[in-house]
Amino acid sequence: MTSAIGDLCDGPFRAQRAAFRISLGNEAWSAVVGGTGGDPHITTLDFINGTNVSGLNTKNSTQLADSSALFGAGLRDTLGNLISRQFRIAFAVEQSPDRNNQVTLSSATDALGLQRPKIAYNLSDYTKQGIAAAFRLKKLIFSKLGVTSEQDFTKTADDDPAAFAVDGIDQKLTYGGAGHVMGTYRMGTDPKTSVVDSFQRSHDHPNLYLVGSGTFPTVGTANPTITLSALALRTAENIAHNL
């Protein structure tokens, strides 16, 4: 990520919809085409292997035959021309807490015989409206930039289980993860509604500390690691103090 737009996160709109933070990345089209965790070399592989996962290995974009497998100067020049023109715009949307979003034990077991996690996960209307606002802003930014799209990767697949519809938008929307796992053993002052206190110490078991981003009571727009590191240091001081 080379840049970001972080100052659209707050305002009166938050009474109506979730906020988002925008990141601008120059790691090319990996996440856009391959999904989060997609191969960052997706365009490169296309031109080495003669495939077209990126949608760029076509006659129109390269002046070559469709799905060319290139090498040498042709490969170098084509990649230099394409990859230097790729960028990613992404929206990290906050999520309101939902008690039905849970991680419980599944009856299915893994290769070690341990029960697999069973994840119930849904988005609130508040969060969906934030994603819709992000979608509208993306369209606005692209139109101001004069971007025309030959390959539109914003279409949502019919069988996407995460797809949802929003009034006023003529296509279904969906979302991908950012790897920012937060919540479940949340922090709070009330043992009825939280698992740990502000020192990440279990309400039920004073000799047990649960350290990590699982203690976040909700999910904002920002990446969690700096905050969870600060909390870990605070917890360590508290443990040392209590020893």
Ligand X SMILES: Cc1cc2nc3c(=O)[nH]c(=O)nc-3n(C[C@H](O)[C@H](O)[C@H](O)COP(=O)(O)OP(=O)(O)OC[C@H]3O[C@@H](n4cnc5c(N)ncnc54)[C@H](O)[C@@H]3O)c2cc1C
As measured in angstroms, the least distance from the Cβ of 100 to ligand X is 22
Q: Which stretch binds ligand X (CB under 6 A): 84-92, 157-165, 189-197, 210-218?
A: 210-218
Q: Which residue of 142, 185, 212, 236 would you call a contact of ligand X, by CB under 6 A? A: 212
**Measured distance CA(164)–CA(137) in Å, rounded:** 18
Contact (Cβ atoms closer than 8 angstroms) between residue 43 and residue 54: yes
Question: Number of helices and strands (H, E) in the chain?
Answer: 6, 5
Q: Which residue of 223, 234, 236, 239 would you call a contact of ligand X, by CB under 6 A? A: 223
> Which is closer to ligand X, CB of 103 or CB of 181?
181
> Which is closer to ligand X, CB of 48 or CB of 232?
232
Q: Which residue of 228, 234, 236, 238 would you call a contact of ligand X, by CB under 6 A? A: 228
Rg (CA), the chain: 22
Q: What tokens does 150 get?
A: 């030959």
SS3 of residue 124 by DSSP: coil
As measured in angstroms, the least distance from the Cβ of 223 to ligand X is 3
Q: Which stretch binds ligand X (CB under 6 A): 86-94, 148-156, 173-181, 235-243?
A: 173-181
Contacts 24+ apart (CB under 8 A), 237-240: 238/199, 238/201, 239/209
Q: Name residue 97's amino acid.
A: P
Site size with ligand X, rule: CB under 6 A? 10
The answer to whether 213 contacts ligand X (rule: CB under 6 A) is: yes
Q: Is the dihedral of CA 70, 72, 74, 80 positive or negative?
A: positive
Q: Which stretch binds ligand X (CB under 6 A): 8-16, 66-74, 118-126, 206-214?
A: 206-214
Q: Which residue of 149, 150, 179, 233 would you call a contact of ligand X, by CB under 6 A? A: 179
Picking from 52, 4, 37, the residue whose alpha carbon sits closest to that of residue 151 is: 52
Catalog residues that contact ligand X under the rule CB under 6 A.
179-181, 212-214, 223-225, 228
